[in-house]
Homo-oligomer: A and B are copies of this chain.
Amino acid sequence: MSKALPTRSENYSEWYNELVKRADLAETSAVRGCMVIKPYGYSIWEKMQRALDDMFKETGHQNAYFPLFIPKSYLSKEASHVEGFAKECAVVTHYRLKADPNGNGVIVDPEAKLEEELIVRPTSETVIWSTYKNWIQSYRDLPLLINQWANVVRWEMRTRLFLRTTEFLWQEGHTAHSTSAEAVAETKQMLEIYAQFAEEWMALPVVKGVKTANERFAGAVDTYCIEALMQDGKALQAGTSHFLGQNFATAFDVKFQDKEGKLEYVWGTSWGVSTRLMGALIMAHSDDAGLVLPPKLAPIQVVIVPIYKNEEQLTLISDKVAPIIKELRKKGISVKFDNNDAYKPGYKFAEYELKGVPVRLAMGARDLENNTVEVARRDTKTKETVSLDGIADFIATLLDNIQVSIYNKAFAFREENTVKVDTFEAFNEILDTKGGFILAHWDGTSETEEKIKEETKATIRCVPLDSVEEEGVCIYSGKPSSRRVVFARAY
């Protein structure tokens, strides 16, 4: 093993960067801002994808695939949309290379210039709505409930693995409806699905809310979001669901004939989560020894490490664990038996701690005698010696308990770090000490929101869906306010 990870208290940011690399999740590539997702990291992402995809399909959505490239003119059709994305677009201008006449490899062939430049999709509303125009004629064609798993590119100036990368992987749902109410219901349904996924799979409690106008998706009427709290007291937006109104239908002239024969613009939604969720997962639960993974997303849920002095002992241990492995796999639990002779048990323990394997079993000579095994939990780092009788059931239950326990810990952390604040002084003090979610009154204007951001770097994460009406005054302007919003510094 190389030297220990930086600790979270020492340098949270370095701890994160090092952890992502050392746990074999991802690394930077030769292409500025683009990452390589390594097999271990990708297998977590695959589990996320499978769970989300099942949830999308259960709610009637189908997958499809739309082009990577968007003609430049399409992007311009929705005014606020292009304004939001123009500054971060990768642009394809040519379609051929040729040998450099000076003999230095290849150059772009100036004769192969595109008539109209193509944008590498930063998101696909424009190309999808231009397609929907041909798919939708009548109310019978609605609702159209489509999702796409894809890569997208946004040219970011400052990038960090998973959290903000030039290219990232995501899913983007794009639905079309005959009424505003139905589109709003879809927007909210998908927000609920994201929240459910975050809580049940990622063990990550989230606040559901609505973005302010400032933080809205470029082209949306309303943006709903889920916001999670990281261990350093900063917020992370984990997913968004947008009610698009008739904005894209108008821009791309997508109309339908209703039951009375009247032509009307279609109502739309879009919603997405990305590999950013990987960043949230890592930062929410992990500790100074490495990753802590909720069992439902762990590529290896149980590792078994034999502790032996000779070949004969290893054989006895292997024979002993073989039926246990079989029984665990039958229960759908992923198990690895690490009998690699090149490494000592201590090295293996540290490695699986770093990789966040939820349960580690160690079996040695004494366990063989006593018909026991040592069971170690990654999340609490506790160990106990357990009888092999009924061990598979014991482990299945333990994995369920760990899943709940990781959630509870994150939930307790968020509760401790969510405070109501009534003065700008107290607001600043909290931000500069423990951070977290700050519930405060705000006068509802973009002006105040921007000033607070300028002075404190804190933004309004959302107006929580469960916020209660409450008379108060804005912490900044002193003007009246009727409900608290959630402020935080954010990723």
The A interface is mostly helix, strand or loop, or mixed, namely mixed
Does the CB pair A167–B91 fall under 8 Å? no
Chain B hits for A95, CB < 8 A: 88-91, 155
A214 located at the interface, meaning its Cβ lies under 8 Å from any Cβ of chain B in the complex: no
1/0 per residue A150-176: CB within 8 Å of B?
110101000000000001010000000
Does the CB pair B36–A64 fall under 8 Å? yes
A332 located at the interface, meaning its Cβ lies under 8 Å from any Cβ of chain B in the complex: no
Does the CB pair A69–B127 fall under 8 Å? no
Does the CB pair B29–A167 fall under 8 Å? no
Q: Give the residues from 163 to 194 in chain A that come closer than 8 angstroms, CB to CB, to chain B.
A: 167, 169
Q: A36-B64, A63-B42, A66-B36 are known contacts. Are A97 and B120 too (CB-CB below 8 A)? A: no
Does the CB pair A30–B71 fall under 8 Å? yes
Chain B hits for A62, CB < 8 A: 39, 42-43
Question: CA–CA, A396 to B130, complex, Å?
Answer: 42
Q: How many copies does the complex hold?
A: 2
A288 located at the interface, meaning its Cβ lies under 8 Å from any Cβ of chain B in the complex: no
Q: A30-B130, A87-B96, A151-B151 are known contacts. Are A68 and B167 too (CB-CB below 8 A)? A: yes
Q: Determine how close the nearest CB of chain B comes to the CB of A119; give it in whole angstroms.
A: 7
- Looking at A2-10, A73-81, A265-273, A313-321, the stretch in contact with chain B turns out to be A73-81
Chain B hits for A34, CB < 8 A: 67-69
Chain B hits for A119, CB < 8 A: 97
* Cβ-defined partner of A92 (8 Å) among B63, B76, B91: B91
Chain B hits for A117, CB < 8 A: 108
A99 located at the interface, meaning its Cβ lies under 8 Å from any Cβ of chain B in the complex: yes
Does the CB pair A65–B169 fall under 8 Å? yes
Does the CB pair A97–B89 fall under 8 Å? yes
Number of A positions contacting B (CB below 8 A):
64
Chain B hits for A90, CB < 8 A: 69, 92, 94-95, 118
Chain B hits for A63, CB < 8 A: 39, 42-43, 46
Does the CB pair A65–B86 fall under 8 Å? no
A35 located at the interface, meaning its Cβ lies under 8 Å from any Cβ of chain B in the complex: yes
Q: A37-B64, A42-B64 are known contacts. Are A71 and B31 too (CB-CB below 8 A)? A: yes
A98 located at the interface, meaning its Cβ lies under 8 Å from any Cβ of chain B in the complex: yes
Does the CB pair B91–A64 fall under 8 Å? no
Does the CB pair B29–A155 fall under 8 Å? no
Q: Determine how close the nearest CB of chain B comes to the CB of A356; give it in whole angstroms.
A: 17
Q: Determine how close the nearest CB of chain B comes to the CB of A184; give it in whole angstroms.
A: 24
A70 located at the interface, meaning its Cβ lies under 8 Å from any Cβ of chain B in the complex: yes
A346 located at the interface, meaning its Cβ lies under 8 Å from any Cβ of chain B in the complex: no
Q: Determine how close the nearest CB of chain B comes to the CB of A83; give it in whole angstroms.
A: 8
Does the CB pair A106–B131 fall under 8 Å? no
Q: A36-B131, A62-B39 are known contacts. Are A118 and B31 too (CB-CB below 8 A)? A: yes
A-B residue pairs in contact (CB < 8 Å), sample of 17: A29-B66, A29-B67, A34-B68, A37-B64, A42-B64, A46-B63, A68-B153, A69-B167, A72-B106, A76-B106, A82-B105, A86-B99, A87-B96, A87-B97, A90-B92, A92-B92, A92-B120
Q: Give 6 new A-B contacts, CB below 8 A, not counting A72-B105, A88-B95, A89-B97.
A: A27-B134, A35-B67, A37-B64, A72-B97, A87-B98, A140-B342
Q: Which 9 A-B pairs have the closest CB atoms?
A: A76-B105, A34-B67, A39-B62, A37-B65, A86-B97, A91-B94, A95-B155, A93-B93, A31-B67
